[in-house]
Amino acid sequence: MKKLFKTIVIASLTIIIGLTSTELFAGNKDRAGQAGASELLVNPWAVSSGWGNAGMASVKGVDAMWSNVAGISFTNTLDLNFSYTSWLAGSGTNVVSFGMLFRMSESVVGGLSVMSMNFGEIERTDTEHPDGGIGYFKPSLMNINIAIAKSFSNSIHGGFVLKIINESISDMTGTGVAMDAGIQYVTGLTDNIHFGIALKNIGPTMKFKGDGLSIKTLFDGMESSITVVQRADQFELPTQLCIAAAYDFNFNDASRLTVAFNFNSNAFSKDQFTFGLEGSFRDILMLRGGYTFEKGIFKNIEDPECSNVNKGLSLGASVQAPLNKKGLKVCLDYSYRNTAHWKGTHSVGARILF
């Protein structure tokens, strides 16, 4: 069973990367905006977002379900994570997330997470009421992730995530599915060298359906109105290929300094390079920071070369305290992502580890 699962993971990654690598590395700014379900690119977790996902090669816990699912295989018994994100603070957009991991056997870990992105109330308009006055509606984006990962040895870990995507307004809904696959490789005398690869958001096209695509109209010469239904076009998902590495400098007092790098090849936007540092003091206080580079990142947001509201800088901190000698810990996390407009993106989280 162990060899079969390992073969499936490696073969699946090889086939998927082979089928999509041409499209992935052909991604350029001219394709930006052609994909949908862009909330799949939003990291809702405070730990990994605190250094721009630079630590994708060594990420662990619930964060790994978004970054690199192979990392959930390091879970001891149970991992619970609650997170709240003020996306572009001041815009009224917030993200609420919950995730849990549980060990199913000596080498297999399962996980479940839910992310809900909310935008508040938007005034309803139509052709007869272009200025509103007919009520409000609330858009909603929700992703449900089901994950499984396995440790094949002390060095090789791999896994999959099945994503269920739902986007809706009052009279129209889009539903789809996607898959992530990831591998982490750990080596070195103290397991301090990390490599990771993840292929994210692979799935069929999505399409919106609902009454929002229909309208009642009256043509010339007709005595009664008819309902005209518009056809919604299909759209692709924002596929990513991520390749990362990290190195831990371990010290005698259970402290650590990690240097990390991550490369994102985006099928529908510019490729990105992220460098990050994370310091851990006695496994109690963690400080982290990262910077993401892409073409045009230093330009003014009004410049056509700049196509990302995020300005690259990410900062984060975590405090964790053991509650008993059996390994129970409570952790508090915070991250900040700098943006060109609004007041940045802020995430706060709480974790319980068994």
CB atoms within 10 A of CB 127: 7
Which candidate, 259, 209, 205, places its Cα nearest to that of 235?
A: 205
CB atoms within 10 A of CB 208: 18
Q: Which helix (H) or strand (E) holds 9?
A: helix 2-25
Q: pTM (2 decimals)?
A: 0.87
Query: CA-to-CA distance for 352 and 279, rounded, in angstroms?
Result: 21
Q: How would DSSP label each residue in 94-139?
A: EEEEEEEEEE-SSSEEEEEEEEEEE---EE---SS-TT--S-EE--
Query: CA-to-CA distance for 272 and 257, rounded, in angstroms?
Result: 23
Tell me the pLDDT tens digit for each residue of 178-237.
999 999 999 999 999 999 999 999 999 999 998 888 877 777 777 777 778 888 889 999
User: Which residues lie below 8 Å from residue 209, measured CB to CB, with a gap of 6+?
Assistant: 172, 173, 174, 232
Domains by residue range for the chain, with CATH: 2-353 (2.40.160.40)
- % pLDDT > 90, the chain: 64
Residue 58 DSSP SS3: coil
Tell me the pLDDT tens digit for each residue of 116-174.
999 988 888 877 788 888 888 889 899 999 999 999 999 999 999 999 999 998 888 99
